Amino acid sequence: MATFVSVDDGDAIRGVSFNPATGVVTRLDPDERQVSSQQYVLRTDGQRTGSTEKTYNPDGSLFSSRTITWGYDALNRLTSESVDHTARMKRGRS
């Protein structure tokens, strides 16, 4: 697992980690709580065909989730995008 540190516009330091075994990118807030995660689905040639994005409340519960799928033609040009958004939208208390 690779871990990086980034600074956002508010100068808050966050950790970003990538797990190559699962393909999941995880972002952490300054208190090392999970803020979001993103996982790509790849074809054998490496082309991205989908993504699952999740955001979390400060208490770790799921805030929202969406799945995106992409379609391509024979020349690998993007021809479609479908978004399935599951909004829970309930902020937990920290």
Query: pTM of the entire structure?
Result: 0.71
For the chain, the average pLDDT equals 81
All structural domains of the chain with their residue ranges? 2-87
93 vs 21, residue with greater confidence: 21
pLDDT at 67: 94
- Residue of 28, 34, 85 whose CA lies nearest to 57: 34
Inform me whether the pLDDT recorded for 4 exceeds 50: yes
| Lookup: tokens for 69 | 């799928």
Mean pLDDT, residues 81-94 taken together: 68
Domain 2-87 belongs to what architecture?
A: Beta Barrel (2.40)
- Distance from C-alpha of 32 to C-alpha of 40, rounded to nearest angstrom: 23
- Distance from C-alpha of 84 to C-alpha of 61, rounded to nearest angstrom: 19
| 17-53 residue pLDDT tens | 888 778 788 888 878 788 899 999 988 988 899 999 9
